[in-house]
Amino acid sequence: MMFKKIDLKNKTALVTGAGKGLGKACAIALAEAGAKVIIISRTLSDLTKVEKLIKKTKGTCLKFECDVTDLNKFKNILKKIKKLDVLVNNAGNNRPEHFTQVKKKNMEYLVELNMKAAFNVAQICSQKMVKSKDRKKIGGSIINMSSQLGRVGAPIRSVYNMTKFGLEGLTRGMAIELAKYNIRVNSVCPTFVETPMVKVFFENKKFKKQVLENIPLGRVAQENDVSTAVAFLAADSANSITGTSLMVDGGWTAK
């Protein structure tokens, strides 16, 4: 057989920031591929909506309300989970400001969420994953949700650039150290995706025009473009892929 299916049956996958946008799309895609999904978000009402959508696909999930910057609360959630095979390290945010006008509180917030929390979540989950006796046999996958702006710079996004470049470095370092456990670590780097957050940015028509001019394909990505890439990296179909970035950027970084 020359084609490996995206099959996540008998896998348990955890998705942070799963209440909206890319996290929501990834959680549903993983469930559709057969995984038991654990969804985490700060807002319980959002999680309940995602849970209903997953159940419509006949998938199964557990939901936990948690801010991933709350390290102790996240650790307690992991204690309730028997096993973990896949992590989609998705929670993140952006507060665009010109570099000369970046507010300290905004810089610290983005570093706390996009870098420190991402590191802590990845570390705690990997610690749980390596404890599985059959880990080397069954493997594991960690997907860090990065960005094309982890590869190239952009105006009014210097802090976001900093955090996503850092996440790219973390991905490569993790991949080398976790390879001996057969845990693969990769990142997905989307361009601007048509999520609720990006739709707010696109209310500025000049900004939207500038974005589209930078994407050779001439269109922004859709949520399922990214969630399909995540599901591929999560599955054994990608069992020789680690320490790399899957660009879902319409050609932006090829320019």
Burial of 2 (0-12, 13-18, 19+ CB in 10 A): exposed
Which positions are annotated as active-site residues?
A: 160
128, 132, 118: which is closest to 173 by C-alpha?
118
Nearest-angstrom CA–CA distance, 15 and 231:
12
Write the single-letter amino acid at 220. V
Place of tokens 């780097």: 189
For the CA atoms of the chain, what is the radius of gyration?
A: 17
Rounded to whole angstroms, the Cα distance separating 185 from 105 reads 31
User: In whole angstroms, what is the distance from residue 116 CA to residue 122 CA?
Assistant: 10
DSSP-derived 3-state class of residue 51: helix
Report how far apart, in Å, the C-alpha atoms of 81 and of each of 26, 63, 85, 134, 197 are: 19, 11, 11, 17, 31
Residue corresponding to tokens 């992590």: 87
Is the distance from CB of 216 to CB of 254 less than 8 angstroms? yes
